Structure 1
Amino acid sequence: MSSKELYQHTKQIQLNEWKTGMILFRTQALAARTHVQVELGKQVKILEGKLEEGKTKLEELHKASGSNFESTKKGFEITWESISSTFEDTAEKFKATA
């Protein structure tokens, strides 16, 4: 084998090693992406649950009257703060992945 052929062969081996490394990186990136998608899906499910809870509390608030209204309103405001916080957390997680 000539020095030129040896050089080319050595470079081809290195190129193949880098290609193998790149495939490994791509696989890891896809795995991370899937993991991120799963985590974001979980966060969306939590938010959906909070929104459903908020809908229920809003219906309770709508039906409440008199002194019952004030106590229902307090419970509603606690739920509202929880929804607001969960929404902000979800938005931040989506921004972080963008």
Structure 2
Amino acid sequence: MSLKEAKDAYIGKLKLQLDEWSADLDAMEARARQADAGFKESFNAKAEELRYQKTLAQGRINALHEAADDAWEELRNGSENIWSTVRQTFADAKAKFDNK
């Protein structure tokens, strides 16, 4: 697999994950609209954090996409920590919300 193919495959995987998180957030927001006021307030604060994390993830995808094919792996390594944080934030929110 060439560097360009590896880069494109990696970015594709990240985009799919970001799309999944977007759908999860949309579903959680729809359910929160029907919840009691206390839960809505708590969820809205968490939703703001999720939107921020999504923005960070999208920024990383953009940076990876714009990186030269021979330099993108360095960016990928740095992106793994950010992506891990975003993944954990969404997993925690989803688990907490699913338990309500």
Q: Unaligned stretches of 5+ in structure 2?
A: 70-100
Q: CA RMSD in A?
A: 2.1
Pair member with larger Rg: 1
One-letter code aligned to 1:67: G
CA distance in 1, matches of 2:39, 2:7: 44
Report what 2:10 is aligned to.
Answer: 39
User: Secondary structure of the equivalent of 1:63?
Assistant: coil
Q: Unaligned stretches of 5+ in structure 1?
A: 1-29
TM-score with structure 1 length normalisation? 0.58
CA distance in 2, matches of 1:48, 1:32: 24
Superposed structure 1 runs of 4+ greater than 6 Å apart: none
Report what 1:69 is aligned to.
Answer: 40
Number of equivalences: 69
* CA displacement at 1:57 relative to structure 2: 2.3
TM-score with structure 2 length normalisation? 0.57
Q: Percent identity?
A: 12
- Identify the structure with the greater helix proportion: 1
CA distance in 2, matches of 1:57, 1:92: 28
* CA displacement at 1:76 relative to structure 2: 1.3
